[in-house]
Chain A
């Protein structure tokens, strides 16, 4: 052991990529605009960079998993996003994968605990 904290920055970014997809698809069950999503996620104890969120929203929209519309009724124009039926179906698949991964890790953890 070197006693030095491992640098998990890039690994965390990789892990976050998949998680952010599920998070956004789950969050957009009700209509939200970008800034409100950032604040909501912060309130849950997680942080998403603003300049990461918008390109992700754009990619999700391009694939038809979310839809957007501008609201021009307020002082400032806001772009609202909402999940589409295709997005819901994708979210269910991604959650299935995530749950399976969690189950596998849990089982391995139990195996390791029993072996000790």
Chain B
């Protein structure tokens, strides 16, 4: 038996793996190719077999022709994929925030386990949680699709329905002008912050007297926090400038992901010995709590924006298939 034919059949077999009638399919193809090579190309030598194989088609394409037309997730359930994932992730994110504040693990056996996490750990944990939620919903919809039954799933509605979010009704130029104005303002803010940092090694002050500025934070902490905040300004500026040329949501994804990381660095800054000015002992814990809450809220909003952008990108890709 010509080796080329066996190699070709082996490759088709690889793509057919799992099918009970695989051997029978391969026998049919083998029989056809030998028949064709002998009848049309003068024998069953390598050259003749080669020609017959080329005419039969690439192994993956051949194997795909045998696939039943049953998708992994039925088209009718595609829209549930992101709806349910968003819903599940919202609960997951809220419980994660709760676990951070309560400083304890949350167990809802056997559905959910959220370990005891700090703020920074929580930010690292949330993307993995999103993927786990997406995987779980995919699995459920996969089993429903494969069952072939018409299962009527509930359709939860939110205040803002991502499905019904329409693109802004502004004209092309109006939206570009708004973005350009935003970019110019952010560029000015970033430049001013850079100027202050170059001159005073910090951008946080307790007074606005530029002849004798008094920094809010100690030199080391002030430098670290200033660099992070300037980086956040720069990221926002870059995102706005990119949006002048493209409407791709990947720009939002990239900007939100970097901002999330920078917020994580902000939150991981030690609070003790932070201030260069004297603050009353009883007020300090309140400031600490408020700062932590504000940063966590900002991180949560950024994470939601990030997930929303990814969901919209995913939905658009699914709509194209």
Contact = CB atoms under 8 A, between A and B. Distances in A.
Q: How large is the interface on B (under 10, 10 to 19, 20 to 34, 35 or more residues)?
A: 10 to 19
B39 A54 contact: no
Q: Is chain B's interface secondary structure helix, strand, loop, or mixed overall? A: helix
Given A54-B28, A58-B21, A58-B25, A35 B65 contact: no
A88 interface: no
A78 B28 CA distance: 8
Contacts of A51: 56-57, 61-62, 65
A79 B39 contact: no
B79 to A, nearest CB: 25
Given A34-B31, A35-B36, A76-B31, A54 B25 contact: yes
A33 B27 CA distance: 13
Contacts of A10: none
B296 to A, nearest CB: 52
B34 interface: yes
B29 interface: yes
B32 interface: yes
Contacts of B39: 35, 39
Contacts of B31: 33-35, 76-79
Interface of A: 33-35, 39, 49-52, 54-55, 58, 70, 76-79
6 contacts: A51-B57, A54-B29, A54-B65, A58-B66, A78-B31, A79-B27
